[in-house]
Structure 1
């Protein structure tokens, strides 16, 4: 296990997630603040939608396997909790993301569009899990969520032979499950392919792609903490087999 930028990194042997009932006391106790925060956010970005998302209420690692319990809640609640600095430490923003790497070892990140809740931030294509990631009655498909978000935002399919190896970056109210994947072309060619797809979208979530070999290529003001931690602790060239 390694630590940097307020995050700790662990390499995982496996990942399991399930949906459980959870009475989120913090959200009930802060209903007025949540409503005020949503009104402020919507005034700035009217396209925001209070859909359903999944947050983590419990997690543990045993023998390299991370087990995560999720519950369903509203996006406005999640956003208020995040904007407040994740005051309820029993609840985390848990999400999975593909880390796309070119054959030259550089990683590709997306810059969020101005109409999104994270406008201008630069990170790997990903999203908070939602009910579409539930399989059967209670399984949460984090691997499928990562692949879906990646495909929706880049138009690129994962190589069939890519190993499914996960890294967990935990810190700052987040559980970032990252799967580094190396593609056969160099990063510039891969980014060009992603950009060509982005330009076909009527309302793309991303406004551009960024190639980086380290945190110094991004600029700290637009870089979430888990991205800085990734480049410090598991640089793409070293994290991909």
Structure 2
């Protein structure tokens, strides 16, 4: 298993193209059956449209790739079956919320979601709401996901210029540090209050990470790699 690689970039460029995905076409019957079983376990799952990437290129502080539309059922089958198409990657934006005391703020996904129990920064697989003039708007996706999952808005944080793109196998997590104007404990309380007002929140718990000792097995490799870089001796 290869270790995650982190590329620090300042610009992103993702064209959305009408590409036919052979995996989704050729295994349609199997995919439908797999998704039906997932829905039996988690009835709230919805087979919407999502965007996956291909042809990633990192050059001189710039990350470019092509994205295409597919259905959520095909994405989950590709994920659950060990990523059988190596030319495709799941590239998503993440808002790395950081309190004024240096604590990172992460959420634990609720049981009704497709990633139940996993702990990471607010994020989501890009969808058609993130497409603007034929281009995938990852910064906009981050703002939307932060608001939907935590209730925080752009008035609550200042985004740093750079993106930390963590390449971990078939996943590329594009993380942007969002500096909050309050300590981690205060941010957690605000988010928990927002979750309490929702009928079915996406997050079931909020975790603070102040160093390597706060890492948990439920955190994906791209999260642990990012945290290790942030808390490495300077």
Please state which band the TM-score falls in when normalised by the shorter chain. Answer: over 0.9
2:227 counterpart residue number: 231
Residue 170 (structure 1) aligned with residue 180 (structure 2): no
Residue 154 (structure 1) aligned with residue 150 (structure 2): yes
Deviations 1:176-216 (Å, cap 9, x if unpaired)? 10001221211001111111111111211111111112354
In the TM superposition, residue 233 of structure 1 has moved relative to its aligned partner by: 2.5
In the TM superposition, residue 219 of structure 1 has moved relative to its aligned partner by: 2.0
Give the structure-2-normalised TM-score: 0.93
Residue 18 (structure 1) aligned with residue 22 (structure 2): no
Q: Secondary structure at the match of 2:159?
A: coil
Matched-pair contact (CA < 8 Å) for 1:107–1:236: no
One of 92, 96, 99 as aligned partner of 1:102? 99
Residue 207 (structure 1) aligned with residue 204 (structure 2): yes
Taking the aligned partners of 2:131 and 2:172, their CA distance within structure 1 comes to 18
Taking the aligned partners of 1:173 and 1:216, their CA distance within structure 2 comes to 27
Q: Secondary structure at the match of 1:209?
A: strand
Structure 2, gaps ≥5 residues long: none
Taking the aligned partners of 2:187 and 2:232, their CA distance within structure 1 comes to 15
In the TM superposition, residue 160 of structure 1 has moved relative to its aligned partner by: 6.3
In the TM superposition, residue 237 of structure 1 has moved relative to its aligned partner by: 10
Q: Secondary structure at the match of 2:176?
A: strand
One of 53, 56, 68 as aligned partner of 2:53? 56
Q: How does 1:44-83 map to 2 (within 5 A)?
A: 44-83=41-80
Aligned pairs, how many?
233
Structure 1, gaps ≥5 residues long: none
Q: Secondary structure at the match of 2:23?
A: helix
1:143 counterpart residue number: 139
In the TM superposition, residue 234 of structure 1 has moved relative to its aligned partner by: 3.1
Deviations 1:24-57 (Å, cap 9, x if unpaired)? 1122222232122212211110110000000002
Give the structure-1-normalised TM-score: 0.91
Decide whether aligned partners of structure 1 residues 105 and 236 sit closer, same or farther in structure 2, where only a CA change above 3 A counts.
Answer: farther
In the TM superposition, residue 223 of structure 1 has moved relative to its aligned partner by: 1.5
Q: Secondary structure at the match of 1:199?
A: helix
Moved more, 106-115 or 161-170: 161-170
Decide whether aligned partners of structure 1 residues 214 and 22 sit closer, same or farther in structure 2, where only a CA change above 3 A counts.
Answer: farther
Taking the aligned partners of 2:206 and 2:36, their CA distance within structure 1 comes to 30
